[in-house]
Structure formats: structure tokens, C-alpha cells
Structure 1
């Protein structure tokens, strides 16, 4: 058999495809074609009853319903039951009954039953119970264990007050149809009806809203429920200088099972006290409460002993409270409490000055005008010197179409503050924060030259972000600073508001106050001259600046020389700036109640109008709609689908097919009565003509179903052609037939003796199996030389065993992910996986749309009907990638450029992929999930030119005091000879050598730039180097800072003195930049301590926890004890505070690794 060269392929896609068809909405109505035999009786519906405790005719989605009647089909699958237009799952059936589950998406409607004998419709409607609603609850306050009555709608539909119905109601609760929660704690439900629930307040409940959860939805009470505490013992008075011995037990105050006593004493401002609680029976825990009920200090005993101690200087006169409690639930025993004022002669002090980790100073490195070329930036703190011009090309943000000239990449593991400053009066810069895939997280766009822009951002978890600089108008230098914010308490997780707006320049939406005349407002010399641009409605008017040219003329330098400033020469940037300035004046005018810009709204991405596009979750997963904004395809791109053939009459494939071929050489396998022929029509792959897959039709629809035609589904490509090549029949296909089909697609000699009029651009093979063939590999090499990219499915055996042709060299091997972006359970894995794409998982419904998460595409069946259905498999993932490859090549063709080579295509696909799993390429996801948007963007960036084209290694140079010489290169990124006519500097302190030169293709000219700092005063300097050539011109901005570096300001810094044994805070102090970072901590008992300093940006009362700057004397890695002597000031305890600190790496914890789990507590500094 081997001598005959026939090797049978195991067709992966056939084995593991599980079809789920959209019968209820997608399959066309074929009732006229039903065959009705007179020997069979039509079915009848007598009644229907939910099994989960509801009255007849009502239920939630997902409820099991028993339909009683007669003449039902004995085989469950031969009964089709629909609730309205939604098909229900038939669980079991007898002649007289059918058990079904109410489908998700169903609405109140009649029940329909269809059997081979006919159809029947219920006389009554089945009512779908709606989302629950809470109207009230009583009582509004109760203790844990009390019963609360909740009233409202749509809770349940069974009254369990009667014993006959208790079983049914119990069934509701047992199956989880009804849940009640106090906060996030589940409550016991004692009874439930449609309008009332009785529930028990659960142990641990806190004040908050009540939730009722049913399969129809979740509702929350508008008011908060109050959990009452049981009354406790009154506070006991204790004097300073006293000590008491008491016992904690179940007769004392209790909070969640922890017993505590309360003491009160009179304290004075600046009085230093030591409060100590000792016990041999339990771990002690102390709280000190201020006169206005704020926690001033606390100390637990997690360090290993049984004592707790607070030493503090009181901030004010008043009555203070002490909470003396055990650290654990249920702990009992005796303890001693003392409040002592140490003698002043026994106290000492510590003082010193802190220093801050300096900024890392960087210069901008070009090119950095795209996500792919973004300049990598260090973790904060960092300063970047750069420059930008509104005329520079840049990255287009898909959300708003803003063009960002400079982009920096940073991995953010905590809150950051980004600041953009410029002293240039000729430029207006805007600041953007972009997500990993280029979408806007936040932006700052204060209008006006030389203004400061700033953003604060806190990610939910470590993530990559891009910082973008947009030159809104003009050009100039800037300084970009990335640091930690002074405070993080007000930051929402996952980013901030601030996505800015596009608006109509010169227009305003204004509402006038009723007592003022609109007509008299049209000319206001102090504001401007306006005209009505639209009719006024209810005081609301659209105003338009009528004298923009005149106003801008007075602001323009041309006015000084007497030149006319014509309105047609007004730049859009200048007019936008004037619009912002005028808006501020309008808002201050007494005649105006409200004024806003006339904002422009746009669709975020292209959305086709295909009927079932909303079910194609796979497309948004790979950023396909954003790619469609850039390219939708090209009719000169052909994708060959090597598969089971095609159902060419499917409505959603019309206009997308070119001539294909049938390469199945075995007549028994072909099932069409002949061998190879020019007809690739799919007759089915089931010899019994009952369960054919029409696999090739599904694959073809994913690549190129007719899109935006108001029907069916969308394809990855909107334009382009599909070449159907049939190789799979009743028992699969052979290598011989498959490789000949591929040769045909590439326009190479093959077994058909013919070639297509135009070869394919891409070949998709959603097929495969084990067994390596050198002959097949050699043919693939020939095909790749023809410039044809090959994409193949990796296999569905959930194994790392190599599957071919996907594992052949040069082939893009595609694995599958599901809707949760995890490897699909069937998908193969291993080192040969190139990329992954959506393949679906028909056993899940992650997006809760009521359908299994398969891939939806075009289908047919053995009866000749055409419809749409869900399949899963790497067979479904592969055409997603093939379609993206078609878009990549279409982008090149649209620019009039030659197609990319297969190697270039694969590089684009892999280098732009969304990284999943382990960082970088891994055996599960390859290079990651295909990203259609980034693929197309990179393809567009790959435009090549045959003429000389100037390119410089950087557009910005930044000199520092220690660096007076830098270099850059001029390269020829095109063809021919680049002649550099001049390289000139615009400042006397800058020297450039050489000033002219020639650069061959792919060559470079090294230019040296020198600065003479002699005689330059402290300050910032900037200039530009102009380069002219026969391949275009270039400008390099030069910036320099002479003198003292910028001083960081990280906000308040807290000093804590820490006990050397327990690592508990003894005393605290505060300093900041206004105090020159100096500090003094007084009233310390004689002894040895560690001294720690740090920020508290999240205001949680701890320093040196995650996200904070931190320092220790003399260093964090090797902290040393500081000795405090009575009546002495220990001076010069100075050290550095740094960012990116983990408490777990501190030398403090070498001997006591469990002493500090979070950070060091700040004591007595704030309320």
C-alpha cells in the first residue's frame, strides 16, 4: 500500500465536531415540506406543569416542565418543542408526556410540539416569570438569627404555608431557584411565595443591601438593612498610672465571637503614654480610640508572645477609650492592663533627613510612533525628554481616531501618576494612556500651549500599558514624568475617567437664562461675535463663532507685518484652541445658564448588519471589528479551502466563490459517482446521506460569508474569493488527493492536468492526522516558494502528538481557544503550535447568550436545506487565521504593493499576537491569540519604496551635564542614492559634523552632535537640527537641562520607630518636601529600635506595604538598630526612600519572617 503512495488522513475536524444548529431562529420554516402520513395521529397537548414548585403555566427560564397529552413520539429527539420561537431541550418522552427544560431567551408564549405525525399548539400560554423586585423588608433593623420578611414581585410561585405544598417549595430552594443574601452571605429561606420571602439574618452579616436571586435575575433593596449589635457592658474608668487585673469571658462584650472590655481615661495634648495589656491565657489585642471616636493606634500580638503595647503622644485633650480584647474568637482568660506616663528624664529622640530615589532620566528613542515600536520605559520614577510635532505621522487610536505621535511602553504593577509638561509656547500636547491592544484607558487634553497634562491610573493587576503623546497643535519639546501618585485612596480600580472628545470647532451648545435676550448676546466684544447655527428650542441654541478669522489674526504673528489672515488659512488646531478659550468665557457670562462644546459622536467600530452577527462572539475576541475599520478585504485575494467541498447555492456564499475542483480520486469515497472532476460541490460525507457534516461549507463561511447583507452571518473577510477544493469524502481523504489540491491552488502541475486562472493567496486545511510524509513536506516547500501562505488546524485529540499537515515546516499551525480565552479542551498543544484562534466549546455558554459557545457559520444538510449552525474544533479556528491572512494581503494590495511572502505573513501574525498563558511563545497557545487589528496595522506599516527615503535613528536628542556629545544616524530606507544636502543646527552652543553626505540603499551616515556648556546658565534649553535631502527632510529636536535636577515630590512620608523584637510600631512622625524631608521623633523610651519610613498612598494606616515607597536605616536590605538614650537626641539617622519595594525582601524579616505580613503601622498621626 505504501508503494502506491496512499496514506490515509485522520480528519480531525470530522471526529470532534459537535453540531448545534439554530433551529428556532436560523433554520428556515419548512413546514410546507413536512410529510404527514394518514396512518399517524397528530399530537395533542392536554396540560403542562412545571416540576419545581410553581403553579401550572408559570416558571423561570431553565425550569423543567412536564407536558401531558397524547400521540407524542417515543424517541425524545423526534419531538421538537418550542416556547415561542425558542427550542427547548427534550429530556425524555413517552407516548403521553414530554419532559422539557424552558430555554434561555424564551418569552411568555404558547408551547408548540412537532412530531413526525404533525404539530400542535397549546391553548394557553406558558408565562415566563420576570426579574424579581424588592419593594420593602421588615423589620428594617434586626439581630443575627432574626427573621426578616421581604415583599415584592416574582420571587416564587408556591405558598408553603400548607403542608401539601411544602415538598414542592422545598424543591425550589433545594435546586437553587431562589436565593437571598445579606451582602455576600447566603441566608436561610424559611418560606417563599410570589410576593413574599421570609429569611434568617445570617451569622456574620453586616449593614448593607439585601439581594434576591432567581434564574430570571438579581435584585437589590434600595435601602440598607441594619444589623443590630447586642448591648454590651459600659466602659470602665481608669486613671493614668493605674493598672487593673480582669477576666475576658462570654459575659463580656462580644463582636463576632471575640470578647472585649472597654476602658476610658482623661488625656492631655502632647502627653506621652504607654498602654500595656499582658495575658498568659490568650493573645492580647489593644485599640486606642480618640475623643471623636477615631482609631488612633492599635497593636496585636501576632509576633508570638501574649503581650500588646502602645506607646503614643496624645494629639489633644479629651476622653480616650481603650478596647482590650483577645485576638481570636472565643478566647477567654485573665489579663493585666496598665496606663503609664514615662518620666521625661527617661525619654530620648531620633532625628535625621530622608532622601528620595532620583528620577531615571531617559531621552526619547525613535521610531516610537506605533504599538510595535513603542519605546520601553523603566518602572517609576522616570523622566523622559522628547519632542513632537502635529505634522508627524503617528499611531491612530481606533476609539477616537486621534493620532498619537510618540508612544512609550511600560508594565504597571501599581498606581502611577503620569505628567506631561512643556515650556513651549508653540505647541499644545495631549496625554493618552492606552491599553495593551491600543484602546483608550484614559487621556488628558487641557487646551492651551504650555499647559500641564496629568493622569493617575491604578490597574486591577500587573499589565502592559502604552503612554501616548499627541501634538494637538504646533511642535516643541516636552518632559514626560512617570511616578507613584501621592495618594491612591480615590482611585477606581482599572483606570480613571478622562477619555476626551472630538467636537465641531467654533460651535457651542448654549442655554440662555430666561431673563436675558439671545439677540442682544450675538455681539459681545469681550467674548466674540456669534450667529445662530440652528433653531433655538426651550432656551437651547447652537451658536457659531462669526469672527474667528479676525480673532486669530490678532493672535497670529502675521499681523505684525501687516499681512491679511484669511479665514481659509485658519488651521483646525488653532480654531479648536480658540473654541476652548471662548467656551470658558461663555460659561462666565451672566446671560448663559449652561454652555458646552458641540461634540461629535462616532461608532466605536464597524458592525455588520448580518442577522446572527451578535452570536459570533469569536470575531470580537480577536479584534476583528477594529481590523474592519482599516480593511475589509480585496477581491484579488483568494483563499483556497481544502475540505469536503462546498454547498455553492447557500444564500450567504453567493458572489464569494471562484472555480474550484474535486480531487477525490476514489469513487467510493467521493459519493458523487465519479473520480476527480471540476465540480467541488459537496454531496455529503455520510454514505447513508443522513448525517453529513458539510464541513467545508462551514469553514468557507467563517472565511468569507457574504457580510453586511442583512442576513445570516458575517465572514472574517467582506471582500475576496473562496476557491473550494474537495479532498474529503465518506472516510476522509488521502495525502495524494490533498497535496494535489494544494498544488492546484498554487498554480503548480497536479493530477487534474489543469491550473486555476488565478492562483490562491492563502490555503486553509482544516484537516489532519498522524504520520509524517517527506513528499508532502517537499510539495509544501514548492507551494511556499510561489508566495502562497498555508494555514492548517492543529488537531482535536487533546494531545501533544504531532498532527500533519499542520506540523510541517512553513505551515501556520492553529490551535483553538474557547470563549473564556482558555485552551479548548479538545485542542492539541505542543511546540509546533504557531498561533491560536477561536474554535469554540459547545459544552459551555460562557457569554450567557442562550447558545452553546461554538463557532457559528454556514451549513447545509443531506436534504438540500441551507441554514447556519455551531461547530467546534481546531477546524473552526484555522479559517479565522486564514481570513486574517487574507486581510493582511488585502491591505498590501490596496496600497498598490506586492504581496508579502509566507514568512513575512507568519512574522506579522506571530509578532502581533495577544500573549496568553506563559509570557512569550509556549506549548499551549504558541505565540498567542491572533489579533486581526494589529496584524492589519503592521501590514500597513510594512509599505516599501524603491526611491530614496530619508530616515533618522532618532528625532530627539537630550543632553545632560555629564554628556556633551551624542550621535545619530541618517539612513536610506528606500532605494537608490540618498543625497544629504545639509545638516544644520539652530543654536550657537550646538555643533554638527558632517554637514552633508551621501547614503546608499540600506546604508547610513553617522552624525556627531556636540554641546559646549560653557557660560550657560541653569535652566532648560532646546533647539532643532534640520536635515534636507533628495529623499525628504527630517528634523531632530535637541533638549538640554543645565543645573539642579528636578526634585521629586511623593507627598507625605511617615517615619515609624519599630520594636526590635516584635517589629511593632512604637512611635510615628511625618515629613514632606516642604520640611526638606527632615524629621524628629521624640518621647522614646531608652532602647534599641529599627527606623522605617514610607508613604501611605492608599491611606490604610500602613507604610511599606504593596505599592508604597519605603526605606530603612541605613538600608532596606541590611537595616541596623538605632540606640536611643534617655534625655538625648540621636541625630543623623538619614537614609533613602525607594520605590518598587516588597516587605518580604527586607532584611528586617530574616529572623522573623512572619512578624510583618502587610507593612508597618502608622500610629497617632491622623484620624
Structure 2
């Protein structure tokens, strides 16, 4: 059903109460609730209008485009949520908490020179330590365009992103865009501050490292410091001067022999001991023995992983989570110069980053290089595919080793990681002297591979051959009508649109190259040879601004001395791009064993495996996206569909017209558009095209519409494929003509009564929403006893509140909770304050070690979190 919805741009909110088991609206029999109070909201606080919690309840208000930007006041602090993918958290409990896709948030605000905008990111405890890539941009609408007024900042490191508005920027209204291009869900806090503001980025509990079972203690002035230190019954004491002593207590533990849980417990125990020290007579101060470290970036456990920009660009790290087999059981034939071996005469002793994955087939020819091109000690075809090298410091030898590493280097805490790190590599030598091979050698190798069940995908990082019919037949035989081998080939490095073979053959996936920024590499061919693009590098650029040239780091070798030595090198070329695609196929087939090359190609043409980075003439179906590929493989559906660009229509007072372009997937399928309808009178539809080759014009009529309102509706396109079932394409449409009033809102709050013991179990729970800058809460039928009273948001919907990056209130002071006693008489007028900020260490007095938030009540102990909710205001 199509419907139009009109809501204010700011969230209209009411005070809400969710009855938990034993909880209630309070005073259903006319009596006062057992516990009630108010939670104030810090000035300037706002919340992202489409958090995962909002999406879960279907109460989100989209702010993912300039036309739907959310208004912010000066000096705002905003808590938000983004995720490139949807999925389910591993909470370690029976409860199921899901995260939703939300890749962009836009905010509108007034900015002046000297203002600074900071973005901090926080992950759920069960997520990878690798932070997702995110970007912070400041944009100015100029006509129908958005112009970057300062350089955007992008990072995947733990450091916050900060932009300072320069003096060349005129005061006025601007858009702030926060976006992600990686799969991990995360919370963020966006802070706005003028140049006169002090630090505003205290939005996380700082956990500085310190020595377990040690403390620095200061005693009262006088000569008795040594005696006092001795009286503390410690195993070691050291005079630090100026009245300070380092003491180490008896039974001090060694963290090396402890588990992570034990270390956390010992850290907490150390802080408890320090609190006890502070109570000792004569002790003026006691504090942890903090550790200071050099400010260097720790690399990943694979030595060169942090230089493999090609993996996050293709979403490989997140795809590995969806493909836990990471290519196991899938065979990749690398038809190239052979494989590095420390003992090339006898084979074996492969490159240590490839050794576990390299496979030979006993009794089979795996070196197809003809004698006149061969330079090994046994010229001609044989069973040894080892790269013989050529004694030159720089040559095309070990090219095949480099290609193999990109596709399937082992994740072994050294060197690099391949796209499919558990796939099997079958090295097949087809290139000899100076990296040259013959079509005869290649044809023979292809025909051999066509009959080998061990091989699933053939990588051909080679090209320049003419359109040989014999080569085409060999490829077609290996392809076997889409049921045989997937053949992947380099599109060529000539920078031309002239077809290059084998990439341009119909049954070959030709791969062009992009740099670290997803831009086409200057040398990469275009046109008929390019079905898809992947990272190939460009040594002339640093498009990802990592301080190094955009080359692809992979396995290599050296043979310019007595011994063959394994190593690594950075190269560029469509040769480097092709194995990324071969590796993605291996990831998919490793999870879906019956996946066929034909299905892969259909998905590719349907853009299910890629992200759009530019016109098809240059980029084919787009940039290979390993995560999208895994989603498509696991879905297993191959429908004929109609797509549209853009996928949503966003209008505002400056953008009142748009065009929808259609495409049929897979390519070549005939689809007829049978009808188009708009769900609101303000959305006007132009002439409906009879087929998808023509665009559809859509415009907005603002007559009778009010400012400070946001209107939403849907555009529904009905279509009928000639060879498939009829379908419907729904395009969301929204119109924002103004901004709402300035109201404080920290997001939906879960108010908890938590047990006063060390378990901190949630006993009672209600949920409230903001009204007039605060929240009202009430509990009824609460068992008398001692509790901690806390409240906070669950922005990322992972079942925890008060995590870093979420609003939090603790009674009486955030960071220093104290027990609250509920007796036989009602307790009212309790007051707390909520904020996305966190107390500093100096305010906390001691670090808050291991705090990961408060867990919401289990689903089997309470009514569902999305159970009907009522307004307390309505009951008055």
C-alpha cells in the first residue's frame, strides 16, 4: 500500500513507558510509583535520526542524503550509527540483536571560520579491532550541486577525524556528511565547537594502561615515609623522591601467564587495592603505575597487511566474516611464470606465504613453456612449475608468484594476506623468458585444465594475443557453457579501447585496474576488454593518501645472488587486478560449492558483485566488492530485475526535479515498464517510457506544503520481463522544506534498575523518549532493596546501553554510580543527567576498567523490546 507521511524534521517525541516484568506505568491503582524521576539532557545534545534502534522499531527518519539533512544547533554533540552491512551481533547470549545498513548521515548547521568538527568512532565489544573506514566532509549547496568547502578527511585508524573551518570559508549554512565504506557497524559521536571552546571530545571512558599490583603512593610529610611504606606489607618498595614511593604488593601476578579475562580481573583488583591504600593512615595519595608508550602505529600481524589497501577497497576483510571457509576446497590455476621456490630445480620449498596453499598434481605436466622460451635447467614441458628466475634484479620473473599472493596468500602472521587465503593454488607455467609465452603453450595448458576437477578458476594475468580461434575454442571448452571453469584475464595495460585477448573473449571475465581511490589507473584498458575492475595500483598516485604510491604489495622473490630468497614487492598493472576477481570467486565457491561460472557472470552483469565507480565503458560492472559477492552467493537467487539510478529520490527547496534511469539485469533481458504511480500529490510523474532505455522525469509541486515539515512517499514502478515473473520496483521519495525547532534529544533511553552486586544484572527496565528537553520515568512493583539506577541509549542495537559513543546517565553522577535504596515508601523526584560525554580521569579519580555498558533484560525475562508503549503524559 502506498501512503504519504508528514513528520517534522526533528523527531516528534513523547514520554513513553514499556512495562517490564514486575514493572508498570506506575500507580495503576492510584498510588505513586515505587520509583520515579527526571533525566535531564545536556544542552546541544542531538541524536542521529536513523540509529539501528530506530530502524528496529521502524521509527527511523532518514538523514542519508543532502535533501534529508538533520538540523543541528551551534555547539551540538551528536550520537550516531553507521554500518555498511546488516547482520547479527555475537552477544554471547541467547538473545538476538541485529544491526542494519546505514552508510551515510547528513547534518545541516551554521559554520564560521575557526569552527571545528570532530568525529569519533566506537565499536561493539564483539566486533573486530579494525575500525571501519569513514569519511567526514563539509559541503555547501551551490545550485543543484554540492561543493566541498574544505578537504575531506578519511581514515580507518583509531584516531578521530577533525576538520577546522578555514578563514577563507564564509559564515553560513553547510552540510556535514559522515559516511562509511566498510562493513563493520559502529557508533560515532560528532561534536561541533567554535575556536574559543576547550576540549569537547571526552566522549569515551579512557582506559590508560598500568602495571598490575603496583601503585605510586605519597605519604604525609616527615621522616616516617619509609616506615609507612614498610607497614603496608608489600613485597617491594622503592623511594621515588619527593615523598612518592613505588610499591608492589605481595603475590604480584605475571600478565604473560594470564588470559584476557584474568588480566581484566587483575586490573580491577589492582584499582580496588589502590582504593584501600587511600584509606590507610598517613597516605596522602595513591594511584596506578601508569604505562606510557611511544606513539607508533602497531601493524597487523601480517607484516605488510597495513599496506594492502587493495583488500579494504574490495571489502575483503568483511567478506571473510561472511565466508569463514575463505576459499577452502577451491582450486585456482595461476597460469603465469611459475612459482617461487627456494630450490627451483626440485620444486617444493615454495614462498612461505604460499607454501601451505600450493598444490601439484602428481604425474601431470604443469610446466607448458616451450623449449625455445624456457630458461630452466630442463627446457620444455615437465612437471615442475617452479620459477627458474633469470638472475636479474628487476625482471618479469616471479610475476606469477606476485599474482598468486594476491589471490591466495596464507594468513600466517607474516607478509601479506590473499583474497582467498585458504584456496588451493595450482601453479602452471606458461610464460618463460622475459615473461613471454606462446598461444600454443597457453592453449595446451587450458585444454589440460579443462579436464581437471581440482581446478575451479583459471587466472590469466597475461594478454596481447590476437583473436586466435584456437585459443577461443580452448577457452570455450574450459568454460563449458558456464558449468566448467571461470576464466579471469587481465584487460591490458595499453590505456586503449582496442580489444585485447584473451580478456575480450565472451567467456572470459576481463579485469581493468583502479588505484587506491577507486579511480581508473591511467594505463588500464577500457571498452570491450573490461567486464569489471579491481585494484591494480598506480605508482604515479597516492589516491588513498596513505603516504605511499598506490602499488599492490604481494609475494616476490630474488635470484640475483647465490640463493633464491623469498620476499615482497609492489607492482602495478591489470595483471594485479585479475587475481582479485579470481579470489572473490574462490570465496564464493568456498561457501557455495555448486556455484557455477555462469551464475557468477550473471550476478556480475546484474551488478550484484560490485559497487559503482564510474561509467561502464571504463569500469564495466564496477569495482569488485567481495562482501557484496558473498551476500549474492549466499542468497542464491538469480532473478531478472529492473534497476534504477538513483535508488531514492531526495528533494528539498533547491532540488525539485530528478530523472530516473533504468537498466535490465541480467544484460540483454527484455523488460517492459507497465505502470508508474506516485503515493502523494506533491510528487509528479512525467511521461512513462515504454521500455527501460528511456529515463523517467519526476518533479515536485510545493503548492500548499508547509515549511518545517518533512514529507515522505514512494514511487512504484511495475515491470514485466519477457522471460521472467512480473516485478515491482519501489523508489522512496522525500521532501524537506525546512528545519524543526531546536529541541534537546539524546535518543530513546532505556532506564534500568541494576543489581548492586558485582554481576550488575538488570532487574527492571522501562523505555522513555525525550520531551521538552528531558525524560520522565517511573517503576512500580519493585522489590525493596539496593539498586543502581542507570539509563542510556542502545544506538547500535547490540543489547548494551551506556557504551562509549552512547548517551548515558548514572545516579547520581555519570561514572561514579551510587546505590539507591527502594523501601516500602515511594521514592520520587530522583534526578539524573544524560550526555554523550564522559567524565575525565581526573573527575573519575581512577580509570573505569573493563566497563562495556549495561546489558538490557533478556528477551525471555521481559516483554519484547518493541512491545506496545504508552505515554505517561496521556495518563495524567
TM-score w.r.t. length of structure 1: 0.33
**Greater C-alpha Rg:** 1
